[in-house]
Amino acid sequence: MTAKPNILFLMADQMQGRVLDQDHDCQTPCLDRLAGEGMRFTRAYTPNNICSPTRASIMTGLLPHNHGVLEVLYPKMAHMHAILPDKAHFAQRLSGAGYSTGYFGKWHVERNNDLERFGWQVDGGQSSASYKALIEEILGEEPLQPECDPAVYITDPPGYGPHLLCGVTERPAERRGMGIATTLALRYLEDAVQKAEPWCCFLSFQEPHDPYIAERSIYEQYQREELPPPPNAADPLEDRPGLYRRAQGIWKQLSEAQKRQARACYFASISEVDAQFARVVDFLEAQGQLEDTIVIAISDHGDLLGAHGLFFKDISAFEEIFNVPFIVRGPGVERGALCPGRVGLHDLCPTVLELAGCEPIDVPDSRSFAPLLSTPAAAGWDRGFAEYYGNRHRLTQKVVWDGRWKFVFNGFDYDELYDLDTDPWEMKNLAQDPAYAGQVVKMTQLFWHYAKRTDDAPLVQTLYPALRLGKVGPLEEEW
């Protein structure tokens, strides 16, 4: 056993946290095993509901307004939303402390794809020479995205072109993106486990992000199941922001049969992801290194998958997007525990550094949840905060959790308030109900607390009358 623990990240993209619930239709034997041998955080959340801002937050421990990546990267606009150069990344700290570090699969943290700059000594990202070489080795001239039949496309409104929603392929996962990234990670680990120094391996998949593509035999297992729509699928969203109802119109082109096929492909894709994770876990176990390794299984955000009549993410702040899978297994972690503490993906940065005994990245945006790994019921973990700045379409949205309450400050429409204990599917917005006016004020005050603590200066310092959209403003002495 090394003096410092090894660290393995297993990250999916756009995977709902609820698929890990015990009674869920989705089958994830490897993730279930990790949860049974470690700890699952049932109220974990993403600090942002799209890829790039969240991935930058994982690396830095910062919220998006502090690291600078506010939306999904767009290489043609090099001056916009670049990660700020003076922000430290946890892999830099690990590398400086003697860790071997390797990153494999989807990066999407910053546009230059310069992983070594951020502390990853071995670059197996999708833009790397090793990733491209393995594609050629495995696929030859075949395209990475396989042909699909049957397939469902989003075609309306006119003028946008078709978008593949889901499809079924004959090509197994080992010959698609997730399998290629896994093979690269295993080649790295085959070398790393033979050396004395500890290692950190980050395996990151594109899947089950749309298009939901699954190999036929696994898809057919789900196709045979009933797979009912989510309980809130028919939500008319009458008391929610108008933008939500506008977005709902996009998905009305889908028939119930097409939605069911999408659910089957999505769950089948997750089962394929789970099987690739198992390749790595089984390898470490065979090498006698699993017990010396902190395994962290996460997703960067979720997917609505028909909830509230919506798919994917972006528009809306519902739990299907913000509640993410979050499992930690390893030395010192209580086994078989469900932790109700509200932790964010950005809290991984300080936690990993503490567990590895490295110099911390001390920022007010995040905190180490290492104490919860041995005491999952510890007090003081009832609150959380997230933010969204739109994606191509600009808007401001801040999300605050406090115990049973969830508040969404919408800078583009009226706010939202949900009681997650009595309304876990978020069907009733209480923000405009006079009976809950006091709770709205409390949650708005908490929102300002987070904004000030993390130095969200442009918002905190905006006292101009035309922009006074909150029930109360940031000046505490006037509350």
CB 199 within 8 A of CB 244: no
Q: 400 and 301 share a domain?
A: no
**Cα–chain center distance at 197:** 30
Domain-terminating residue out of 370, 400, 417: 370
- Residues 314 and 407 both lie in one domain: no
pLDDT at 225: 85
Residues 256 and 173 in one domain: yes
One domain, residues 404 and 464:
yes
Location of structure tokens 């089962």: 271
- Look at residue 226 in the predicted model and tell me its pLDDT: 87
Please give the order of strands across the beta sheet that includes 405-410.
383-391, 393-402, 405-410, 416-419
Query: In terms of Cα–Cα distance, which of 147, 103, 145 is closest to 124?
Result: 103
CB atoms within 10 A of CB 239: 15
Asked if 285 and 149 sit in the same domain, the reply is: yes
Q: DSSP states of 69-117 as a string?
A: --SS--TT-TTSSPPPTT---HHHHHHHTT-EEEEEE---SSTT--GGG
Q: Cα 475 from chain centroid?
A: 33
Residue 386 lies in a domain: no
With beta carbons less than 8 A apart as the criterion, state whether 206 and 300 touch. Answer: no
Reference 311, options 264, 257, 241, 263; nearest CA is: 263
Total structural domains within the chain? 2
For residue 176, the 8-state DSSP code is S
Q: Domain holding 436: CATH number?
A: 3.30.1120.10
* Whether 15 and 63 share a structural domain: yes
CA distance 337 to 279: 24
Residue 345 belongs to some domain of the structure? yes
- Nearest CA to 406 among 98, 4, 24, 43? 43
pLDDT of residue 1: 41
Indicate whether 261 and 180 sit together in one domain: yes
- Alpha carbon 165 to its chain centroid, in Å, reads 20
Q: What phi, psi does 307 have (nearest 5°)?
A: -60, 135
Q: What is the CATH number of the domain that holds 285?
A: 3.40.720.10
Q: Under DSSP, is residue 253 helix (H, G, I), strand (E, B) or coil?
A: helix
Cα distances from 364 to residues 200, 201, 211, 304, in angstroms, run 25, 27, 37, 30
To the question of pTM greater than 0.85 for the whole model, the response is yes
Per the structure, the complete domain to which residue 415 belongs is given by 392-478
Q: How far apart are CA 347 and CA 366, in angstroms?
A: 5
What does the longest C-alpha to C-alpha distance in the chain come to? 67
Q: What is the mean pLDDT of each run of 10 residues along the chain (479 residues)?
A: 85 97 96 98 97 96 94 68 83 97 95 92 96 96 94 96 97 97 98 97 98 98 92 97 97 97 98 98 97 98 98 96 98 96 98 96 96 93 96 92 98 96 98 97 97 94 92 91
- Measure CA 330 to chain center: 21
> What pLDDT does residue 75 have?
61
Q: Which of 122, 130, 62 is nearest to 95 (CA)?
A: 122
Q: Same domain for 265 and 348?
A: yes
